[in-house]
Amino acid sequence: MNTHKPKLVVIGNGMAGISTVEQILKLTTQFEITVFGSEPHPNYNRIMLSYVLEGSKTIDDIVLNDWQWYADNGITLHTGTKVVKIDETHKEVVTEEGMRVPYDKVIIATGSNSFILPIPGSDKQGVIGFRDIADCNQMLEAAKTYKKAAVIGGGLLGLEAAKGLVQLGMDVTVVHLMEDLMERQLDHQAALMLRAELERQGIKFKMQAQTVELLGGERVSGLRFADDTVLDAEFVVMAVGIKPNVEVARNSGIEVNRGIVVNDYMQTSMKDVYSVGECNEHRGVCYGLVAPLFEQGMVLAKHICGVETAAYEGSVVSTKLKISGVDVFSTGEFIDGPEHTVIVSKDDWKRTYKKILLKDGIMVGAVLYGDITDSAELQKLIKQKTTMTDELYNTLMGTGCCGSGAKKAATVETMSDDEIVCGCNGVTKGSIIDAVTNQGLTTVDEIKACTGATRSCGGCKPVVEQILQYVLGDGFKTAAKQGICGCTTLSRDEIVAEIKAKGLQTTKEVMHVLGWNEPEGCSKCRPALNYYLGMIYPDTHEDEKESRFVNERMNANIQKDGTYTVVPRMYGGVTTPEDLKKIADVSLKYDVKVVKVTGGQRLDLIGVKKEDLPKVWEELGMPSGYAYAKSLRTVKTCVGSQFCRFGTQDSMSMGALLERKFERIDYPAKFKMAVNGCPRNCAEACTKDIGIVGNDGGWEIFIGGNGGIKARLADSLCKVKTDEELIEVCGAVIQYYRETGNYLERTSEWVERVGLEQIKAVAVDDLNHRRELVERVEFALKQAEEPWSKMLNDHDSRSKMFHSVEMKG
């Protein structure tokens, strides 16, 4: 067996070379790899230099492969070392110091250099390019001493450099030869918008100006233009372009045009020598962007490892300007000519602009300004040479403006018939249309009864309504007065009023007296009536287990296989080693299938058999966490002032206190809370029914947040100064919600229906009303019992509800 590993030498320690090496390592470890880099750093992300300049990232942040990576992969790395020649005869690469390293294969990945204008004075101090970390450091230094800077070149790099210098406090003028900024990436319109935006951000511009000389003594002091005007500048960045770094190839006798000439497999004219990235020229094109380099690297890696690969046929290039707050994107062809069909939309109010170019109906390029949410999609479509269709047009151009950043719902017209509308029940657009056209259905409810769409989570209701509207046109009327379910035409408010007025006591009585068309109701109204009765008569209503959904009836969450999940309370998300040990022991004893951490900071014991539930509860000896209930689930907390250096309030204690206080009574729907010890909001108050954020001197209360089916950020309700007031306002809000909420209506919907101002007026500002609400919630809380221990002591129900009747057949 030949133990000699083929030697691969990579000249260039930048993104192109190292990403190729990474690709090679994914395929094989057959090579002994040596890398030469002229800079003293490991491989870093050159694209991110603009962010380093801007100050939003440090050099360390942008390192892609640290020293350890080279060591871990057995790569020999020579930094600060320049390779000057490839000696084909001896198969060795030669460094500036005369070191010779043998090779079997070589990859040249020397990238490119800043192009420095060949004008008098360009060698003065204070004139630099913008290409690497050293340049970046020079800029950071210059900004400390000098005030006035000029950037020559209004392309991508120039603008990023200018913005960086402005951030560093310099007075910056961008000098550009052309009429438009970024003329190689943007059309006239987008360029104008970009310039206006950058001027707002403090950059000055001198357009159509040709610099002919840099003035000054040893150090630069200004620029002279072709029209003889002068601009003062103590620091000049040249960003007029890049030129492929072909020195080593040229010294070695490899064919060089503008870049190192390569074929579709990145082979140069010299055997066993390849070239990748900005230093090469493929089919006459030198790329100065990052995407092509990855694509080339992938082809090269496969080829060099002997893995079959498609040829590299060039890249469709896209541009993204990396200046915070300025979003520009372009791809493919974007300057319209007579051969193009142009689709344009421009919005001066939102400062957005979108242009798509077609050639013979095929998408060939696009420009986006201000809103680049569609950039990935467009890039894909253009790369795949997609033909424009009405459907695509609607998705891409949306309605009205060029996209406000809001997600554009694809209009129902453009949905295909087999597209799933109701994800819960797998109902397609086609089957809904069928139901409407063939069965003459006209309401969402009829569609629900016939197809099942909207009946599970309800999230697709708007789309179903749109489909109805689309099929029926004017024949579609949003449903007439609807009762709480199909058994009645009465609304929630009417029912509650009748219960109070007539003193109705049981669900049966309500259904009978109020003329239900289904004498024993359905799975919708029975649980609702049971809730309303309990809310109205907290002390006298006899809870009806038979009117409860399985989870609430069994005090556990049913899973699809008929086993249950047990979730014990962990007040405020805090537990103890003893409790954890108990949970572990019980889980082992009863063969719990999965122990899962929930989103609400407690533990799910999944897969408990129905008949084991009472024993599990008994042995845990912990209260129910109500993970199954339309009730207070859990109060999520951050670490807070007990331990956190930022904590201003004791969130753990407050969370546990609130959870203990408000648990065990029925709410219209599940209810989640969070308490944070400081405005960093680590426990995410914005997606909770009540979210509480502590600050140095009190608490802020938010309500109506939801992170689930229909995400909604909570609204700020009020700020309070003391813990007592916090508890009081929470109690008042909870009771107001209990008294006015529709059964199963989350606070996110309730707040929008009732109105934040109304809730604030009644539960916060009107102190009398607030106190009454608190009294009523306190009264209800007094009646509450811990459900698990209650069931344990009710031997009759326990056996009838949890145990099978076993017949010896």
Partner 1 sequence: MGATQETMHHVGTLDMFMKQIGRIVELNGEQIAVFRDSSDRIYAVENRNPHPKGGPLAEGIVSGHYLYDPLYDWKIDLTTGLVQAPDTGQVKVYEVKVENGGVWIGA
| Residue 440 vs 562, nearer CB to partner 1 | 562
| Residue 14 vs 527, nearer CB to partner 1 | 527
| Residue 403 vs 787, nearer CB to partner 1 | 787
Q: Which residue(s) pair with 367 in the sheet? A: 330, 355
- What b-and-e string marks burial along 487-511, b requiring 16 or more CB atoms within 10 Å of the CB? bbebebeebbeebeeeebeebbebb
State the minimum distance, in angstroms, from the CB of residue 522 to partner 1.
Answer: 6
Alpha-carbon distance 732 to 762, whole Å? 9
State the minimum distance, in angstroms, from the CB of residue 184 to partner 1.
Answer: 57
3-class DSSP assignment, residue 267: strand
| Residue 135 vs 552, nearer CB to partner 1 | 552
Whether 305 has a binding-site annotation, put simply, is no
Alpha-carbon distance 316 to 291, whole Å? 9
Burial class (CB in 10 A: 0-12, 13-18, 19+), 701: buried
At 261, phi and psi to the nearest 5? -75, 125
Whether 644 has a binding-site annotation, put simply, is yes
Count of beta carbons in the 10 Å neighbourhood of residue 30: 11
Chain residues that interact with partner 1, rule: CB under 8 A? 448-452, 455-456, 508, 518-523, 526-527, 545-547, 549-550, 553-554, 558, 560-562, 797, 800-801, 804-807, 809
| Residue 379 vs 451, nearer CB to partner 1 | 451
| Residue 479 vs 550, nearer CB to partner 1 | 550
| Residue 144 vs 560, nearer CB to partner 1 | 560
* Tokens linked to 467: 């489909």
State the minimum distance, in angstroms, from the CB of residue 480 to partner 1.
Answer: 21
State the minimum distance, in angstroms, from the CB of residue 453 to partner 1.
Answer: 9
Q: Which residue(s) pair with 684 in the sheet? A: none
State the minimum distance, in angstroms, from the CB of residue 464 to partner 1.
Answer: 14
Helix (H) or strand (E) holding 225: strand 220-225
Helix (H) or strand (E) holding 199: helix 188-200
State the minimum distance, in angstroms, from the CB of residue 694 to partner 1.
Answer: 41
| Residue 615 vs 719, nearer CB to partner 1 | 615
Q: What is the largest CA-CA distance in the chain?
A: 110
| Residue 289 vs 801, nearer CB to partner 1 | 801
* Tokens linked to 269: 């004219």
State the minimum distance, in angstroms, from the CB of residue 804 to partner 1.
Answer: 4
Please name the residue that has the structure tokens 């690497």. 132
CB under 8 Å to 711, separation ≥6 — which residues? 687
* Tokens linked to 610: 């129905």
At 680, phi and psi to the nearest 5? -65, -20
Which stretches within 363-491 are classed as H helix?
375-383, 390-397, 429-439, 444-451, 461-472
**Lateral strand order in the sheet of 127-129:** 127-129, 235-238, 148-152, 171-175, 204-206
State the minimum distance, in angstroms, from the CB of residue 515 to partner 1.
Answer: 16
Whether 638 has a binding-site annotation, put simply, is yes
State the minimum distance, in angstroms, from the CB of residue 521 to partner 1.
Answer: 6
> What Rg value do the Cα atoms of the chain yield, rounded?
35
Q: Residues annotated as binding site for siroheme?
A: 682
Q: Which residues are annotated as a binding site for [4Fe-4S] cluster?
A: 638, 644, 678, 682
Binding residues: 638, 644, 678, 682
